[in-house]
Structure 1
Amino acid sequence: MTHDHDLVLRPTDAQRAAALAPPPGRTGGDLVVETLRGLGATTVFGLPGQHALSLFDAVGRSDLRLIGLRTENNAGFAADAYGRMTGEAVPLLLSTGPGALMALPALAEAAAASAPVLAIASQVPVAGLGGGRRGHLHELRDQSASFRDVVKSVHTARTPSQIPSAIAEAWESALTAPHGPVWVEIPEDVLRAETMIPQVTAVDAGPHELAPRPELTALAAHWLERASRPVIIAGGGVIRSDAAGKLRQLAERLSAPVVTTFGAKGAFPWTHPLSLQSWLEDRHMTDFLEDADVLLVVGSGLGELSSNYHTFFPGGRVVQIEADLGKLESNHAALGIHADARLALQALLETVGERRDPEAPERVRLLLAEIETRLSAQDVALERGLLTSIRAALPARSPSFWDMTILSYWAWSAFDAKHPNTMHSAQGAGGLGYAFPAALGACVAEPDTPVLAVSGDGGAMYSIADLATAKQYDLDVTWLIVDDGGYGILREYMADSFEGRTTATELTRPDFAALAESFGVPAVRTTPESLRENLKKSLATPGPTVLVLPTTLKMFAPTHLA
């Protein structure tokens, strides 16, 4: 009997010829490059270090496009964004020890946001593995242990022959739901060693599909079509699985209002009659969700930000669709469906009957009116006006990236992202410095689309070196820096909690406009009144631009004012 997989294993004539006559001078680094090209990679991010030089030399001799940033963490943020924008696994090339460890915050963000980053790091030579025995520069006792609790999986290659399989396994892991960062580690001497191993000509590393169990979707459909007040919470898994269209079909079939988490901005049309938008930090919204008799949670673990800081307690049945088994029913008991969001929503669409509820849009309208009444009673016209100006200037399909700053906290709740996968922030892991390098990664992914980054002055200082990267590659990014002279949101938290004391949150900062111009990047000092026009002009001008907005913002009150 002949099986189909037997046919796949037979080499073609071209593969046989390549195996018998490999070009001379190839190294372990070339095996890495050949495997990546065989898997479909076209672009890599990173910066070299002593132990990784052979890998970078191989990249330089290949047709891979290398985007070099100025710190490993920023390279990781850029790779994260490239992965989010393209849905592809994206290689991040790192060196040993300090260079590798510098990427930890970025990989933590990629893990929280399910971004498929393929981190490939060098190691000390094989003889020095085990820690402290040989005294190699950059040596760690167990380098991969530093990453094991952050990334989705860890893979090692200790000989050249192991390189293709290790990278292929990592690639498959990164792209199997839930997507996420993975770690590959290869010693320096393995990367440098000349090899007679044939050229890598065929690599099979397709992701596994994570389909729902049919008895679970049948029960969920039964509950939903018979519910009196069904509501849907759409999380970032809807974006990662490209399921926004199926989400809308299901919501309309069920007449179910939809609220999107901050990681799912744009997954449901902002002005749709069933759209609850993203006001998850408002107590009116929390009360509305608690009143649902069936709550469908898709692609969210209902973590801190999605549960109004764990003050949300569902009053009815909960159905949770989640690809990350660790997040399934981790915060609330539910009918847990371990599945990719797209496949689970499709299963529900094939099962659930139509449920008509002409009153649902009115309930949505009344809720949003209550939130608007609360906002109108607060002195937040400046903050709301800035978001209006940004939305008016930013093209509907342009991606935006937001750092951990007060204007971003506003945007989580109040900004209309217009389309799926166009608004991204660091709210997964919450590290500073995400927005600008991530925006650079998006510029590489979509070179014909202007990209916006929004930072505070504190977060901007984490990323300032990569103005050189933006200039070097002539990336079409506009960087809006809201300059309030400190870590604004932390200053606000401290003042509220510690009798007005704001320890370590006031900052001396540079003249950002002059600093940008020293990199050869045009810069404009703007005002709330001129922001819209300045931003519109900047986004329409090719290449990098910096806008500096000196102003102090405050957050909205999500509950009744005392």
Structure 2
Amino acid sequence: MTHDHDLELRPTAAQTEAALNPPPGRTGGDLVVETLCGLGASTVFGLPGQHALGMFDALRRSRLRYVGLRVENNAGFAADAYGRVTGEVAPLFLSTGPGALMSLAALQEAAAASAPVLAVGSQVPVAGLGGGRHGYLHELRDQQASFRDVVKSVHTVRTQSQIPSVIAAAWESALSAPHGPVWVEIPQDVLLAETLLPQVTGVDATPHDLVPRPELTAVAADLLTRAERPAVVAGGGVVRADAAGKLRALAEKLSAPVVTTFGGKGAFPWEHPLSLQSWLEDRHTTDFLEEADVLLVIGSGLGELSSNYHTFAPNGRIIQIEADLGKLESNHPALGIHADARLALQALLETVGERDDPTAPERVRRVLDAVRERVDAQGLTLEQDVLASVRAALPDTSPSFWDMTILSYWAWSAFDARRPGTMHSAQGAGGLGYAFPAALGAAAADPTQPVLAISGDGGAMYSIAELATAAQYGLDVTWLIVDDGGYGILREYMTDAFGEPTGTELTRPDFVALAESFGVRGVRTTPEHLRADLTKALTTPGPSVVVLPAVLRMFAPTHLDRPTGS
């Protein structure tokens, strides 16, 4: 008896021909590259090293485009951004030991931001695995142990026949909700040895949908329908699930105000009558959310930043929709729904009743007016003008990447992203040096529009080498460097805490001259000319650097203003 699925397993004539007549000179590295091609990869980021040369040699025999950066951590940031803006897996090729370990900070950021990065690293030859005493260059006793606490999953290859299946399993893991980075390691001799295996022509790694349980969405829908003061916190999971449209439809159906987390920027229209925007470090917003009798939290774990530094103390019922099981009810008791944000929002849209609350827009307006009055009273016109200039110069559809710098901290709360998935920062893990290499990865993903990176002078020094990458590939990235003479935000923190800073003041290069030495356009600007200079840089193809000498200040936080005993 023949079943339909039996027919599907039969190779096509072309697959049979390719299998029986593989081209000569193929190695284990070719199996890696062929598998990635079969899974749909188009671009690989990385940096070569001795043990990984088998993979890099195979690249020249493939259709994959290679984008090489100058530091492994920066290559990881570029892959992270590629995964964020495309929603596709970003392969990252690394070598053993120091090369692999240099990527850890970038992979930590990818994990915090749920970016699908597939890092493939080499290993010492099979005979040296696990021993730590063979004396191989770059050898670690247990290399994968360094990655296990950082990435979503770890995969090890010991023979060539394992390569296609292991990479497919890693690919599926990276793309399953929640997305995240994965680690694959392959010994040097496995990569270099000639292979007798046929070309990889059929490989599948389709992730499974994370569907909400219907009894949970039924209870959630009932709570929201009967709520008197519902509110919504929309996190990065909404953006990653491409669920902004469903979020807006649900909020309007429920007349529920929405605040977006710093990772969820763009998930809800900034100027919508129900938009509380992103002022999560303001007590007015925190108080409003605490007063909700039903709070729907979608794609956020209500971590440190999203909870106003854990001062948020809800009085009502929380419904939490979260794809990352470890974040579900991790900070507050809730009706926890383990699901992809898009599927859960669709289920709620089909189930909730209509709520008409004409007072909701007015309550939102009062909160935003109070926030703006508090900020305006602090005399921070320069900071607001600089951020407004950036917004005016940046096209609505262009992605922006923000390092850990004072202007970025402003942008988390005050910047209108205008489109989902167009504002990205390193606020997940909080490492320096993210913005510029990440912007290069985004430009590699979509060369049709300019990309903006924003750094302070301290963070910029982490990424100076990548000016060579930008020039080599002609990537359309404008890099705004706000030069305040040191680690500005740490200077503020230490001055507030100890009266004076230590270790925050930095000697810097002439960033404009340095950019020009790489063949990259550079300009020094002022707050008054920033909008025009940024606009010109963003509309001129190719890489450019805009340097703004300015000492910016942070707005005063209000998470400590809570009355005693409340």
Alignment of 1:262-411 (within 5 A): 262-411=262-411
1:549 matches 2:544: no
Amino acid at match of 1:152: K
Provide the C-alpha distance between the structure 2 equivalents of 1:202 and 1:516, rounded to a whole number of angstroms.
Answer: 45
Q: CA deviation at 1:164?
A: 0.1
Alignment of 1:8-47 (within 5 A): 8-47=8-47
Aligned to 1:93: 93
Q: Quick check: 2:311–2:559 contact (8 Å CA) kept in 1?
A: no
Provide the C-alpha distance between the structure 2 equivalents of 1:273 and 1:3, rounded to a whole number of angstroms.
Answer: 57
Measured against aligned partners, the alpha-carbon deviations of 1:59-104 in whole angstroms (never above 9, x if no partner) come to 1221100000000000000000000010000100000000000000
1:515 matches 2:514: yes
Which has the larger displacement, 159-168 or 21-30?
A: 21-30
Provide the C-alpha distance between the structure 2 equivalents of 1:484 and 1:237, rounded to a whole number of angstroms.
Answer: 34
Provide the C-alpha distance between the structure 1 equivalents of 2:248 and 2:193, rounded to a whole number of angstroms.
Answer: 54
Provide the C-alpha distance between the structure 2 equivalents of 1:443 and 1:436, rounded to a whole number of angstroms.
Answer: 11
Measured against aligned partners, the alpha-carbon deviations of 1:222-270 in whole angstroms (never above 9, x if no partner) come to 0001100000000000011110000000000000000000001111000
Q: Quick check: 2:281–2:559 contact (8 Å CA) kept in 1?
A: no
Amino acid at match of 1:544: P
Amino acid at match of 2:57: D
Provide the C-alpha distance between the structure 2 equivalents of 1:338 and 1:56, rounded to a whole number of angstroms.
Answer: 40
Aligned to 1:530: 529
Measured against aligned partners, the alpha-carbon deviations of 1:15-73 in whole angstroms (never above 9, x if no partner) come to 12221221111100000010000000010000100000111000122110000000000
SS in 2 for 1:74: helix
Aligned to 2:107: 107
SS in 2 for 1:524: strand
SS in 2 for 1:239: helix
Provide the C-alpha distance between the structure 2 equivalents of 1:293 and 1:223, rounded to a whole number of angstroms.
Answer: 9
Q: CA deviation at 1:131?
A: 3.0
Amino acid at match of 1:514: A
Measured against aligned partners, the alpha-carbon deviations of 1:306-343 in whole angstroms (never above 9, x if no partner) come to 00011101110000000000000000000000000000
SS in 2 for 1:109: helix
Amino acid at match of 1:264: G
Q: Quick check: 2:122–2:187 contact (8 Å CA) kept in 1?
A: yes
Q: Quick check: 2:262–2:278 contact (8 Å CA) kept in 1?
A: yes
Provide the C-alpha distance between the structure 2 equivalents of 1:502 and 1:61, rounded to a whole number of angstroms.
Answer: 54
* Unmatched segments (≥5 aa) in structure 2: 562-566
Provide the C-alpha distance between the structure 2 equivalents of 1:280 and 1:473, rounded to a whole number of angstroms.
Answer: 39
Question: Could you tell me the TM-score, scaled by structure 2's length?
Answer: 0.98
Measured against aligned partners, the alpha-carbon deviations of 1:429-484 in whole angstroms (never above 9, x if no partner) come to 00000000000001011101000000000000000000000000011110000000
Aligned to 1:134: 134
Q: Quick check: 2:234–2:261 contact (8 Å CA) kept in 1?
A: yes
Q: Quick check: 1:290–1:313 contact (8 Å CA) kept in 2?
A: yes
SS in 1 for 2:275: coil
RMSD: 1.0
Amino acid at match of 2:521: P
SS in 2 for 1:144: helix
Provide the C-alpha distance between the structure 1 equivalents of 2:295 and 2:198, rounded to a whole number of angstroms.
Answer: 55
Identity of aligned residues (%): 79
Provide the C-alpha distance between the structure 2 equivalents of 1:151 and 1:32, rounded to a whole number of angstroms.
Answer: 20
Measured against aligned partners, the alpha-carbon deviations of 1:142-181 in whole angstroms (never above 9, x if no partner) come to 0011001110001111000000000000000000000000
Provide the C-alpha distance between the structure 1 equivalents of 2:218 and 2:197, rounded to a whole number of angstroms.
Answer: 51
1:183 matches 2:180: no
Aligned to 1:504: 503
Amino acid at match of 2:540: T
Q: CA deviation at 1:133?
A: 2.4
Q: Quick check: 2:308–2:559 contact (8 Å CA) kept in 1?
A: no
Provide the C-alpha distance between the structure 2 equivalents of 1:143 and 1:516, rounded to a whole number of angstroms.
Answer: 37
Aligned to 2:62: 62
Superposed structure 1 runs of 4+ greater than 6 Å apart: none
Q: CA deviation at 1:209?
A: 0.4
SS in 1 for 2:546: strand
Aligned to 1:488: 488
Provide the C-alpha distance between the structure 2 equivalents of 1:560 and 1:468, rounded to a whole number of angstroms.
Answer: 42
Q: How many residues align?
A: 561
Aligned to 2:564: none
Change (3 A) 1:91 1:476: same
Q: CA deviation at 1:9?
A: 1.8
Q: Quick check: 1:131–1:139 contact (8 Å CA) kept in 2?
A: no
Change (3 A) 1:326 1:5: farther
Q: CA deviation at 1:3?
A: 4.3
Q: CA deviation at 1:4?
A: 4.3
Q: Quick check: 1:238–1:264 contact (8 Å CA) kept in 2?
A: yes
Q: Quick check: 1:297–1:318 contact (8 Å CA) kept in 2?
A: yes
Amino acid at match of 1:260: T
Provide the C-alpha distance between the structure 2 equivalents of 1:393 and 1:151, rounded to a whole number of angstroms.
Answer: 36
Question: Could you tell me the TM-score, scaled by structure 1's length?
Answer: 0.99
Provide the C-alpha distance between the structure 2 equivalents of 1:110 and 1:561, rounded to a whole number of angstroms.
Answer: 31
Q: CA deviation at 1:561?
A: 10
1:442 matches 2:442: yes
Measured against aligned partners, the alpha-carbon deviations of 1:177-198 in whole angstroms (never above 9, x if no partner) come to 0000000110000000101101
Q: Quick check: 1:173–1:207 contact (8 Å CA) kept in 2?
A: yes
Alignment of 1:160-239 (within 5 A): 160-239=160-239
Amino acid at match of 2:552: L
Measured against aligned partners, the alpha-carbon deviations of 1:480-527 in whole angstroms (never above 9, x if no partner) come to 00000100000100000012x211111111111111111111111000
Provide the C-alpha distance between the structure 2 equivalents of 1:308 and 1:482, rounded to a whole number of angstroms.
Answer: 26
Alignment of 1:249-268 (within 5 A): 249-268=249-268
Aligned to 1:241: 241
Q: Quick check: 2:241–2:341 contact (8 Å CA) kept in 1?
A: yes
Change (3 A) 1:561 1:111: closer
SS in 1 for 2:464: helix
Provide the C-alpha distance between the structure 2 equivalents of 1:5 and 1:245, rounded to a whole number of angstroms.
Answer: 37
Provide the C-alpha distance between the structure 2 equivalents of 1:366 and 1:31, rounded to a whole number of angstroms.
Answer: 60
SS in 2 for 1:306: coil
Amino acid at match of 1:420: P
Measured against aligned partners, the alpha-carbon deviations of 1:514-546 in whole angstroms (never above 9, x if no partner) come to 111111111110000000000011100000010
Change (3 A) 1:215 1:538: same
